[in-house]
Amino acid sequence: MSTSYLPEALYTRAGFASNTALSVDDRGKISAHAAEPVQTVSLPRRALLPGLINVHSHAFQRLIRGKSESRVTSGKDFWSWRGTMYHAAAQLTPQDVYDVARMTFLEMARAGITTVGEFHYLHTDPNGHPYDDPNLLSRMVIAAAQSVGIRIVLLRAAYFRSGYQVATDPGQIRFFENTTDFLANAESLLAIYPINSGNQVQLGIAPHSIRAIPLEDLRELTAWANAKQLPLHMHISEQVAENAACKAEYGTTPVTLLTREGLLTRNLTAVHAIHITDDEIRMMAEAGATICSCPTTERNLGDGSFPADRTMRAGIPIAFGSDSQAQISLIEDARELDYHLRLSHQERAVLDQIDGQPLAARLLDCATIHGARSLSVAAGELTDGKYADFFTVDLDHPSIVGNSPEDLLSIIVFGLDPSAIRDVAVNGKLIIRDGKHEFEKEIIARYKEVYRKVWAKAPAIETLA
């Protein structure tokens, strides 16, 4: 049956339209000519916007929220922070992976996120041995997304070494595969979830980083992903030390290396890309690559401030990711993208009117349209033929009350509290209704059990120094 959703205000690229319905056909796609019969769902005092797209997530890291905020237990920087993360990763059974991912995806759904790019690198058992099904943990994460109802692009991550001339880190033992096994396992997943199959599961390839993938292997993975026309995601220049290690091994920085090798293409999304030069920005723009910025995680880890002004002026699409799950709110990430620049430039609204586009609309595009481009999903816009993925906000919520049609988008982007999000739909079906999910109590209860188990024995402080 076709469905017509009737909010008080419907977002369009031209602004908010009143008394305008969103029509959804029986395939879950937006259609101006939905077939009869039509079920009408009234959404009074609601504004309806395109679903947010979370391009970069490590679901299991939800477990370390609040556990890594001390120098005593987690050190002073990204490199020592990883010890806390490794402790959590080492404790998880396949069932735990499922339960934690469900909690993470539930929180995303409640924040208006309808699609997640899950950068998944937990592959083996805690001793580094493959499961009988080497894709078991990938399938558990996918099953968690299906249970919650969120659309997932499983970015199967390749992790082949700890770094250039670096001893193998035992904390990473669950991440490792070799090229042959990785590609065979990726092929097996594709057999289960075919390209363009039209369901809510898609796949991509994620060479973790230059430090984790030798160049010869990176060439092979990139060629394979491009031949399959799969999204290709990679951590690039998140840390100054990462650039230094790349220079030591290859004589140049990651972006320049990828350009030199012909590996920087439109298919690539560079995650973070904080420490890049103007020349590298030009290279990325010419290649048509996308950048995924993760502002909440980047400031939590002390990574640095992403040069969004220079990249936007170069025409590079920017998307957002919740990454380490320190906080899950793409609306917060959107405002932080500009707020971080305000601190460094000592100016306001730094990203406003680039190419004539108002700031709030530009930031919403990053959280929707650019994310859809990065993950190759037909979503991110409320237009004919796209998946009917959307969220609604309560127009009377204290965080945005007093709005008018002219300033509503700006108030949402810069003032919305996540509790104002009331309904969330994926493929035209509501997975959150009036702020609740049907499995919410069970998901939270099972997550709490895993959390207690993981932290019953805290990691030794000396291993985190």
Write down the number of H helices and E strands in the chain: 16, 15
pLDDT at position 113: 98
Residues 353-360: contacts with CB under 8 Å, at least 24 apart: 354/309, 354/312, 354/313, 358/410, 359/410, 359/413, 360/409, 360/410, 360/412, 360/413, 360/414
pLDDT at position 77: 81
Please report where in the chains the tokens 């993975």 appear, as a residue.
Answer: 221
pLDDT at position 271: 98
The three-state secondary structure class of 37 is coil
- The values of phi and psi at residue 200, to 5°, are -95, 15
Contact 155/148 with Cβ under 8 angstroms? no
Which 8-state DSSP code applies to residue 418? G
Q: Which of 122, 214, 221, 206 is nearest to 157 (CA)?
A: 206
Degrees to nearest 5, angle at CA 85 with 218 and 300 = 90
pLDDT at position 196: 66
Query: Looking at the annotation, which residues are catalytic?
Result: 272, 323
Q: Which of 305, 245, 243 is nearest to 274 (CA)?
A: 305
Q: How far apart are CA 12 and CA 167, in angstroms?
A: 53
pLDDT at position 248: 97
Structure tokens at 49: 């916007």
Q: How far apart are CA 435 and CA 443, in angstroms?
A: 15
Degrees to nearest 5, angle at CA 334 with 82 and 421 = 100
Is 328 exposed, middle or buried (CB count within 10 Å of its CB: 0-12, 13-18, 19+)?
buried
Handedness of CA 77, 241, 215, 297 (dihedral sign): positive
CA distances from 280 to 111, 277, 283, 289, 398 (A): 34, 5, 5, 11, 43
pLDDT at position 463: 43
Contact 267/233 with Cβ under 8 angstroms? no
Structure tokens at 61: 């890291």
pLDDT at position 154: 98
Domains of the chain: 3-49+390-426 (no CATH), 51-375 (3.20.20.140)
Average pLDDT of adjacent 10-residue blocks, the chain of 465 residues: 94 92 94 77 97 98 91 79 92 98 98 98 97 98 98 98 94 96 97 79 97 98 96 97 97 98 97 98 98 96 95 97 97 97 94 91 97 97 96 98 94 97 97 97 98 84 43
